[in-house]
Amino acid sequence: MNLERRVRICLESNALSVEETAGDITVTVPAGRLVDSLMALKEHPDLKFDFLSDVIGIDNLDLFRKKKGKGKAAEEEPPEKKVKAPPPPRFEIVYLLLSLESSERLRVKIQVPENDMTVDSVTSIWRAASWPEREIYDLFGINFLGHPDLKRLLMWDGFKGHPLRKDYPLEGKGETRRLVYEQEKIR
């Protein structure tokens, strides 16, 4: 049985969509059912996706703006279609899974709308998710519920902003860091 069918059987109604691009399968699951779905993919005897390679954040700001009706693309669409289509969520998180037994790979995607930036952490399944989730928290500002130590990974603690968001300027907003000695702090 091919991978797509096995994934569909395993996830049942949790598989919102299953797409194939260049031989790689991407399955979108509801953000609320993320932990259940990943657990099912890990435990299912026909799949055994037991290894988490990476967790990636995506900011779809340009797409998001276009579909919302500000861009050219939206104007060309017929009006009734524009009303019906829900605005796509701005952020996405992709989990890259690998089965060490069969060497098969799978992408699991969830969508994170801008007004609800909290996602369940998958550190309860894979401890390896800890640092990638911290990175996404740092650079995209998405919160992970149940993460054991959610703090910035790459930028320093007092940093404001989330640099990988598309609306953040490439050269930053003039943030600097300065060495402050203990005596100076007391004064």
Partner 1 sequence: MKIQGYGGNGWFITKMEQLINWGRSRSPWPLPYGTACCGIELMATMASGYDIARFGAERPSFSPRQADVLLEAGTITKKMTPVLKRIYDQMAEPKWVIAMGACACTGGVFRTYSTHQGIDSIIPVDIYIPGCPPRPEALLDGLVKLIHKIEKEHPLRKQAQALLQES
Q: Which residues bind partner 1 (CB under 8 A)?
A: 154-156, 163, 168-173, 175-180
Coil, helix or strand at residue 151: coil
CB of 175 to partner 1, least distance (A): 7
Which of 32, 172 has the CB closer to partner 1? Answer: 172
CB of 174 to partner 1, least distance (A): 9
Which of 45, 169 has the CB closer to partner 1? Answer: 169
CB 57 within 8 A of CB 65: no
CB of 105 to partner 1, least distance (A): 30
Which phi and psi angles does 111 have, rounded to 5°? -110, 135
DSSP 152-175: -SSS-TT--S-TTSTTS-TTTTS-
CB 27 within 8 A of CB 17: yes
Query: What amino acid is encoded at 74 in this protein?
Result: A
Which of 81, 185 has the CB closer to partner 1? Answer: 185
Which of 23, 169 has the CB closer to partner 1? Answer: 169
CB of 131 to partner 1, least distance (A): 16
Which of 56, 153 has the CB closer to partner 1? Answer: 153
Whole-number Å distance between alpha carbons of 71 and 69? 6
CB of 165 to partner 1, least distance (A): 11
Whole-number Å distance between alpha carbons of 88 and 145? 23
Q: DSSP state, 48?
A: -
Which of 80, 184 has the CB closer to partner 1? Answer: 184
Whole-number Å distance between alpha carbons of 53 and 186? 46
For 62-126, where are the E strands, in sequence order?
91-98, 105-112, 118-120
CB of 129 to partner 1, least distance (A): 23
